[in-house]
Amino acid sequence: MPPPCRPALVSNQVEPTLRIATLNVFVGSPLPFLFGATSTLYNSERLFAQINGLDALDVDILCLQEVVCPRVLRAFKTKFKTDRFHCMHFCHEKGVRYGTTLAWVLICLLVGGLFSTYAAIWLVLTGDLPRFASTTTHLALQISGILVSMVLTAISVHFAVRSSATYVWLTGIPTGLVVFVRNQPRLEVMKVQYGYFEEQHGDFLNLFNPRGYIHISFTLDGARFRLVNTHLNHGDQNCRFRNAQVADLSRTLAYANIQVPSETFIVGDMNVPHGSLELASLCQKNKVHSSMDGDTWCMRNELTRNAFLPTGPSRQLDFILIPNHQAMIQQTRGRLIFQQPPYVSDHFGIVCSVAIHTAV
* Second CATH level (architecture) for the domain 6-92+172-356: 4-Layer Sandwich (3.60)
- Cis omega (within 30 of 0) on the bond before 185? no
Q: What is the DSSP string of 37-48?
A: -PPPSTT-HHHH
Q: In the chain, what are the domain boundaries?
A: 6-92+172-356, 99-165
Pick the range with the lowest mean pLDDT from 6-10, 306-310, 311-315.
6-10
Residue-wise pLDDT tens digits, 149-159: 778 777 777 77
Q: So what's the pLDDT on residue 37?
A: 72
Look at residue 109 and tell me whether its pLDDT is greater than 70.
yes
Q: What is the DSSP string of 263-299?
A: EEEEEEE-SS-TT-HHHHHHHHHHTEEES----SB-T
Task: Determine the 3-state secondary structure of 15 from DSSP.
Answer: coil
Residue-wise pLDDT tens digits, 25-62: 999 887 776 666 788 898 899 999 999 999 999 999 99
DSSP β-ladder status, 349-356 and 17-24: antiparallel
Query: Could you tell me which residues come within 8 angstroms of residue 323 by beta carbon, excluding any fewer than 6 positions away?
Result: 263, 264, 265, 287, 288, 329
Pick the range with the lowest mean pLDDT from 6-10, 62-66, 240-244.
6-10
Average of pLDDT values for 138-148?
Answer: 72
Look at residue 252 and tell me whether its pLDDT is greater than 90.
yes
